[in-house]
Structure 1
């Protein structure tokens, strides 16, 4: 199956949540914004990557058998259809429902006199000072249009000479996308600017104006093999990102041919890269509307019901004493991140008996308490080692900033292994116990050390003081910070050394069980399934009769249900309030199946070009919890999308899995009994 088309199908499922009247109304607004942001990233990365490979001449055919130009045209058609459906959802479904609740997104012509007066004052005081109209004439070349910026294409006429001139006005991104005209009435910022163009072009006649938006190639290309200073090279590449070639031009459908032709000529875009849509463009800004807030507007029913995550570790408990007794399996956001993982790092930083803290950072929040705790630990004289992945896409600037801040505080900051992204989620605390022995405490997770996204992303994490795990994580950190080629781990599967073969070996083992008449089963939860050797192995297992269930949130290029190939494979997808983000692997059926959790998706980049880690879950109650979760995820009574043999996804209504997990308020105080 085609990878790009599968990605668009994932975003279509997001759009279905916005179209679904059962979704709370302001959450539907949020899903519209998420869809728009996702589509932006698709063009910035996936389409841009295809164009770059096509330009090099290296990509003769895509894996779907199409020539690159044919592939681009095909996915452009699908993306255009989805963009129009997204626009129709906003204008015909969500917009009228918002208006019925007294929340309106209006255009300038719909504003009342008092609202226009307020907008004129806003323009004069806050908008006009940051605007820079740029004219195009022989003395002024066509201006650079930055990626994802909103712009007004303006034609003005000199009444004295009759000459017309084109000008561009950039809509400032520092101001709200939708401006509050009056209570619960919002107007697009570009409408306010357009209504006051006469103040920007005094003495000129404004003939016409149209909104447009450009998406550029923003995928980075840093050759580490010939780069002495990775951070400096990345900073240079980030500057170049702003000047990447265009991959999409969005225009309002009212644009004239004259202005569109000028934009197409100056930007160098092809016909299939032009997207004509009713305004307003850039609905990723709808987050502003979704964040109105239930309390101040007495509209709690328009949001998902609030919930307070469970405390996996009681406030009165000593987290190190607890871990000496048993492992703790965390399931965020149902279990609080701040009172477990964050507290683990903060307590380690404050504990005088802790000698060292080692941690990986892939993405973290802007005001990160994790980073603050690591800085506190370093300033207290502890050895602090932080592996910062500065190549995390679209978080490069933030991670460079964190790396420098940590270095200034005295932390040892490294950037991982040459040529590989460090994507594993690990923390190691070395503590001297009262007996004098050194004991290691670990956290291994599926998600980032980010307290903000931990409230919105579904992830697993394991806190443990198991000595074998401590040895494994220590060895992995030595590999990350030094020149060790260690690849033999006890409770970890680590990419790129042992994970691929470890997964393939376990699939083959289930095939052997099935052939020998023993119980066999494979169940996997992942964000993406693209890797061809893994898919081929799953096909072989299906042909042998092994029952296989795959829970794939996003891209899936495996085709289930094909007679003679994959009739024993089911593929399900769950989307909802939280972003399903954990990776879970179950191999076996019967007395002692294996369970693994970790950071790796089933993609070539994860298995071959990243440092990833899966940890084996051994506690009886933890294994039971994961098994129950998978049982419920694959139940025909759960609300989910099913991938059919023809490559299309179909929604099956049922119980909301995430709502069920919120309601259980589970089992955390029970001793694991491992």
Structure 2
């Protein structure tokens, strides 16, 4: 069970809202809980531990860094829950200490269990003479030429330590004058990021040794003629947020400069081993001390995220059973012709249960179809090796008119996106970077094709990115349609981003920051009115984060009017559910499991029982956060095709509400309690893995085989 999120019940606002940062820490604690889940294979548990470490690093580099900056600038404006930046930092640091301790305890437990299964994180008992000799040779041949020890004294300037930089400090003394205590030297060895975090000793038995332990083990080769007096491993995290001035004249040049500045951002956290040499520690603290920086002593491994190297060990018995996503039968029935399948009827693809290949094939087919005249696509994150990018390049080389909206402000993907933008431009693609002050977060692609009846527009709307790697473990929806109304709306959205032409009179699509917020308000208000008139009402929402205070107040008002509200919020949730007179009709759950819940689905009863044919259903790229609704370009797409409507509402969304194996319920005090499966356990991820989607099933759907979900808990 998580700890309460608000320590300030005396504040008026704390009775209505949870703190955003503390809510995020509660989310990461749920992720860490999966590393302790005995139902999971051992290497999958280690993967969750690694993810919790990676999450925490980003939290420190962005969210905590932001609060530190506010404190340094003297900003004491409280957040909506009543905490000032300084108070938030105080509570965060208390929670972080406990979270770090739980991470290390989890690692110690997993280390023992993995050793029993034949995977060892090496200690002296596992390194026999043969392994020691192999490690020594590897160190001399592969590691020593790459690393550079540097003395820390007045003759040598203190070196720059990069963000997430890992290093070892040694205190050494020349052997011939070892009696003279004044002759101690402190030497720093920075570990290049190009070196693997863990090294595997050759052999059938899996023995891993951390790079920092390897360097310490063979330090005498680095410092011949010196006696080792002490050592310690350290790690540095820096402020990694990027701020772009609105008046930037050249966005690409500005971002290249900003990326360089980020590498040298202010130190936010210095992590040290518990048994750190006192002399070296004092020097390190002195040189890296900055206002607001946190110094953390860790009894265990620094850089938990590095455990992902060990997760790659080829042990299928210690991982989830391999899963191959399905390719939609509907498209196979049309001999792989995406356009023919979409032209016949709308289709929605549920990733990762259905293959991302269909999205790639959609773009690739457009690139090679002589009847296609234009392709427009937004690119927020596309990954390191993107077939979508290659297809757009091919389309441009084939003479198509290709427009790509590349978002440079996608955090931590800025450099990759600059690379893709450059490659696309060289191929002749018209590359647009969008707005300086708004991110283009919408996931849209449109293909204009010449057909017998005239030009027809085929559209793809997604809840996730055009990223082939994340599409394997993020749950997202890809909606394909040839509805001419959505085609016209998509064109207006692209004109908005490329030419600042504000979309007016869209037929179906709602776009932020124009009218997406207002559209959701209208739907919520309609449910309130229905409840007041005694008609059926209800709201089902699925998203990643819920932090927008005005939207939360709207949901509170709906609850007070008697509207039953079911929320699936994976991560941050500022809404306080189950409070009498405020939110007693609101239930909030979070699903943490094998796949990362990422799709955004919004459903409203619309005057009839929910779920039903009259329910208004939307998919979106936007979470209910102020930034998504007011400072990003996002899309909200209504689902009108009956088969797709049933799939999204009565299959995807309903299964999320029914899940009781991977769900956590948010309590009024801010704690999360794991759901009790009872006599009828139901795992939504397992259901989707074993049952085909409705709209992708094609003609085979008539033969049945897709279990019908019922609102009664656990019933299928």
Give the alignment's TM-score, normalised by structure 1: 0.96
- Does 2:286 correspond to 1:265? yes
CA distance in 2, matches of 1:210, 1:487: 62
Contact 2:61 2:268 in 1 (8 A): yes
Contact 1:108 1:187 in 2 (8 A): no
Corresponding residue for residue 319 of structure 1: 338
Contact 2:152 2:187 in 1 (8 A): yes
- Does 2:145 correspond to 1:125? no
1:100 to 116, 122, 125: 116
Corresponding residue for residue 645 of structure 1: 668
Corresponding residue for residue 425 of structure 1: 443
CA distance in 1, matches of 2:247, 2:106: 49
Contact 1:560 1:571 in 2 (8 A): yes
Task: Compare 271-280 and 492-501 and name the one that shifted more.
Answer: 271-280
Contact 2:542 2:568 in 1 (8 A): yes
- Per-residue CA shift, 1:610-665, capped at 9, x if unaligned? 00001111111222122223223223745300000111111114322101110113
- Does 2:525 correspond to 1:508? yes
Cα deviation for residue 418 of structure 1 reads: 3.3
Please state whether the residue corresponding to 1:30 is helix, strand or coil. Answer: helix
Contact 2:171 2:279 in 1 (8 A): no
Corresponding residue for residue 344 of structure 1: 362
Contact 2:266 2:290 in 1 (8 A): no
- Does 2:431 correspond to 1:410? no
- Does 2:685 correspond to 1:658? yes
Cα deviation for residue 270 of structure 1 reads: 6.8
- Per-residue CA shift, 1:111-158, capped at 9, x if unaligned? 111111000011011000100112111111222111111110111113
Cα deviation for residue 280 of structure 1 reads: 2.4
How do residues 349-388 of structure 1 correspond to structure 2 at under 5 angstroms? 349-388=367-406
- Does 2:262 correspond to 1:245? no
CA distance in 2, matches of 1:323, 1:60: 52
CA distance in 1, matches of 2:659, 2:136: 56
Please state whether the residue corresponding to 2:354 is helix, strand or coil. Answer: coil
Contact 2:251 2:436 in 1 (8 A): no
Corresponding residue for residue 9 of structure 2: none
CA distance in 2, matches of 1:602, 1:52: 25
- Per-residue CA shift, 1:25-54, capped at 9, x if unaligned? 110011111011000000010000111122
State the Cα RMSD in Å: 1.6
Corresponding residue for residue 609 of structure 1: 631
1:282 to 299, 303, 307: 303
CA distance in 2, matches of 1:273, 1:176: 27
Question: In structure 2, do the counterparts of structure 1 residues 109 and 198 end up closer, same or farther at CA, with 3 Å as the change threshold?
Answer: farther
Corresponding residue for residue 18 of structure 1: 35
How do residues 143-542 of structure 1 correspond to structure 2 at under 5 angstroms? 143-161=159-177, 162=180, 163-182=183-202, 183-223=205-245, 225-269=246-290, 273-294=294-315, 300-312=316-328, 313-314=331-332, 316-338=335-357, 340-435=358-453, 437-542=454-559
Question: In structure 2, do the counterparts of structure 1 residues 84 and 428 end up closer, same or farther at CA, with 3 Å as the change threshold?
Answer: same
CA distance in 2, matches of 1:141, 1:349: 55
Cα deviation for residue 231 of structure 1 reads: 0.7
Cα deviation for residue 493 of structure 1 reads: 1.3
CA distance in 2, matches of 1:462, 1:636: 24
2:697 to 655, 669, 673: 669
Corresponding residue for residue 49 of structure 2: 32
CA distance in 1, matches of 2:638, 2:324: 29
5+ residue gaps in structure 2?
A: 1-17, 703-716
Contact 1:215 1:249 in 2 (8 A): yes
Contact 1:353 1:433 in 2 (8 A): yes
Contact 1:153 1:166 in 2 (8 A): yes
Contact 1:574 1:639 in 2 (8 A): yes
Question: In structure 2, do the counterparts of structure 1 residues 236 and 108 end up closer, same or farther at CA, with 3 Å as the change threshold?
Answer: farther
Task: Compare 214-223 and 275-284 and name the one that shifted more.
Answer: 275-284
Please state whether the residue corresponding to 1:194 is helix, strand or coil. Answer: helix
Contact 2:126 2:207 in 1 (8 A): no
Please state whether the residue corresponding to 2:488 is helix, strand or coil. Answer: helix
Task: Compare 545-554 and 638-647 and name the one that shifted more.
Answer: 638-647
CA distance in 2, matches of 1:380, 1:538: 50
Corresponding residue for residue 709 of structure 2: none
Question: In structure 2, do the counterparts of structure 1 residues 108 and 415 end up closer, same or farther at CA, with 3 Å as the change threshold?
Answer: farther
2:93 to 76, 91, 110: 76
Please state whether the residue corresponding to 1:129 is helix, strand or coil. Answer: coil
Q: Number of paired residues?
A: 664
Please state whether the residue corresponding to 1:130 is helix, strand or coil. Answer: coil
CA distance in 2, matches of 1:502, 1:253: 54
CA distance in 2, matches of 1:357, 1:343: 14
Cα deviation for residue 279 of structure 1 reads: 2.8
Cα deviation for residue 269 of structure 1 reads: 4.9
CA distance in 1, matches of 2:661, 2:100: 29
CA distance in 1, matches of 2:174, 2:459: 71
Question: In structure 2, do the counterparts of structure 1 residues 466 and 669 end up closer, same or farther at CA, with 3 Å as the change threshold?
Answer: same
CA distance in 2, matches of 1:581, 1:9: 18
Task: Compare 272-281 and 259-268 and name the one that shifted more.
Answer: 272-281
Contact 2:622 2:636 in 1 (8 A): yes
Contact 1:309 1:334 in 2 (8 A): yes
How do residues 486-635 of structure 1 correspond to structure 2 at under 5 angstroms? 486-588=503-605, 589-590=608-609, 591-628=613-650, 629-635=652-658
CA distance in 1, matches of 2:632, 2:431: 18
Corresponding residue for residue 297 of structure 1: none
CA distance in 2, matches of 1:20, 1:198: 42
Contact 1:15 1:35 in 2 (8 A): yes
Corresponding residue for residue 47 of structure 1: 64
CA distance in 2, matches of 1:244, 1:156: 31
CA distance in 1, matches of 2:83, 2:462: 39
Question: In structure 2, do the counterparts of structure 1 residues 492 and 396 end up closer, same or farther at CA, with 3 Å as the change threshold?
Answer: same
Cα deviation for residue 110 of structure 1 reads: 4.3
Cα deviation for residue 172 of structure 1 reads: 2.3
Corresponding residue for residue 706 of structure 2: none
Cα deviation for residue 327 of structure 1 reads: 0.4
Question: In structure 2, do the counterparts of structure 1 residues 540 and 301 end up closer, same or farther at CA, with 3 Å as the change threshold?
Answer: same
5+ residue gaps in structure 1?
A: 295-299
Contact 1:447 1:460 in 2 (8 A): yes
Contact 2:231 2:277 in 1 (8 A): no
Give the alignment's TM-score, normalised by structure 2: 0.90
Contact 1:639 1:653 in 2 (8 A): no
| Divergent runs of 4+, >4 A | 269-272
Corresponding residue for residue 11 of structure 2: none
Cα deviation for residue 253 of structure 1 reads: 1.0
Contact 2:171 2:277 in 1 (8 A): no
Contact 2:104 2:301 in 1 (8 A): no
Cα deviation for residue 77 of structure 1 reads: 1.1
CA distance in 2, matches of 1:607, 1:150: 38
CA distance in 2, matches of 1:96, 1:622: 48
Contact 1:33 1:283 in 2 (8 A): yes
Contact 1:264 1:270 in 2 (8 A): no
